[in-house]
Amino acid sequence: MSSSLLQSRVPPQLSFTSSLNKSQWRFTTLPAVTFTRRAKHATVNAKIREIFMPALSSTMTEGKIVSWIKSEGDVLSKGESVVVVESDKADMDVETFYDGILAAIVVPEGESAPVGAPIGLLAETEAEIEEARAKAASSGSSPATPPPAAPQAPAAAAVAPAPAPTPVAAAAVADGPRKIVSTPYAKKLAKQHKVDINKVVGTGPFGRITPADVEAAAGIVPVKSVAPVVAEPVAAAAAAPVKSAPALPDIPGATIVPFTTMQAAVSKNMIESLSVPTFRVGYPVMTDALDALYAKVKSKGVTMTALLAKAAAMALVQHPVVNASCKDGKSFTYNSSINIAVAVAINGGLITPVLQDADKLDLYLLSEKWKELVEKARSKQLQPHEYNSGTFTLSNLGMFGVDRFDAILPPGQGAIMAVGASKPTPIADKDGYFSVKSQMLVNVTADHRIVYGADLAAFLKTFAKIVQEPDSLTL
């Protein structure tokens, strides 16, 4: 007589790597399942492993399949790339840590799946391929089981109103005179209805005779006012339409485009930032000396972004509270590293590569690092630590001629600086004489829970001094 056993194996693992950086990132799938079929003379072990959607970053909740590198039926070797997954910030190659056959693709190209959901099935031998494909078909086509309908409450039976309780006669008292205790209104009713109040048994406190006792002795049935029956509001509330935001009319010829994974992540972060109380401070900065320095070092590969990032990092060393962060609303953290995140527009989204320890790197090494990060960002090959470790953000629109703008504070950071274009501006000196100098406007948005106006003003004053006397940037 045959029987089947369900055994748990060591969880298989997969890794994902960047095509520019072959360092491996591992994640663990759910335990593989081994089906053991026992016959009289032979035992066959069927091993099918599920390939799961990996978590490529701390903020990733779902991933999109960019492309399957392998096809169904392909034989896979350990360490071979299987699929390319788009996270909220980058595209990553997923590699297998097991030999086997790609038996079934559960999530096709262009579709998304939550982190931890199976996206493919890996069979150990050809004998398990059909079983794996049947499993994939059943999991993909099985309709969701509707929740059982709640049993209807039985209709309430009509219950006749309970008769008014009959007053319980007081215990028999000994013959003889007794003191009559009654309310004034009860005495008036007794006289009106010609009732001998001495023969009325009181039901009030301490045997007090109440008007109801007198009416009962006179044989008068009390008329109870019946309150009007009010319909239950539940049914009406259920029938009433739910108020919602008014639907905007469709514009003829308009096309609806769903968010990409990156756009959805940006949208989520922007909504989250609305819960942080922020304020903004602007400051004019003269840039003649900085422009002269840039003209000298530009041929050596130094960018204006690197100059501004270095100046901001040096100012943050003197004002660490601007580099702090508040994540739980109950405390704030002085970050030990100064990591300058710089906003970069890429096709279909926005990303902030991070110049880590920007205060400790010299200007030329910082520029080389920045060029490398930009290339990886535009090819969507940044590693998670290269875009989610910023402690202060710099956003520069000056190259587009924008003179000033406000930036939205990224979640988990204390401040973000918006840099406008440097333009010739007439400036008056202390004696009232005008001269034309290059000036840029910077606006800083800060978390008011940890950074106050005086803190931000002092930081901007230090930043302006470094930019206007930029020799320290090349040290």
What are the sequence ranges of the domains in the chain? 49-138, 278-473
**Residue 313 clears pLDDT 80, i.e. is over it:** yes
Place 205 in a pLDDT band, splitting at 50, 70 and 90: low
Q: Domain 278-473 has what CATH class?
A: alpha beta
Which percentage of the chain shows pLDDT scores above 70?
Answer: 74
**Residue 270 clears pLDDT 60, i.e. is over it:** yes
> Which range is most confident: 79-83, 267-271, 300-304, 456-460?
456-460
Q: What is the pLDDT of residues 363-391, one digit of tens each?
A: 999 999 999 999 988 888 888 889 889 99
Give me the pLDDT at residue 162, please.
44
Q: List the catalytic residues.
A: 448
Give me the pLDDT at residue 179, please.
59
Same fold, 49-138 and 278-473: no
**Residue 186 clears pLDDT 80, i.e. is over it:** no
**Radius of gyration, alpha carbons of the chain:** 40
Place 62 in a pLDDT band, splitting at 50, 70 and 90: confident
**Residue 41 clears pLDDT 60, i.e. is over it:** no
Give me the pLDDT at residue 261, please.
76
Cβ density class 308-338: b for 16+ within 10 Å, e for less? bbbbbbbbbeebbbbbbbbeeeeebeebeeb
What average pLDDT is seen over the chain?
77
**Residue 246 clears pLDDT 70, i.e. is over it:** no
**Under CATH, what is the fold of the domain 49-138?**
OB fold (Dihydrolipoamide Acetyltransferase, E2P) (2.40.50)
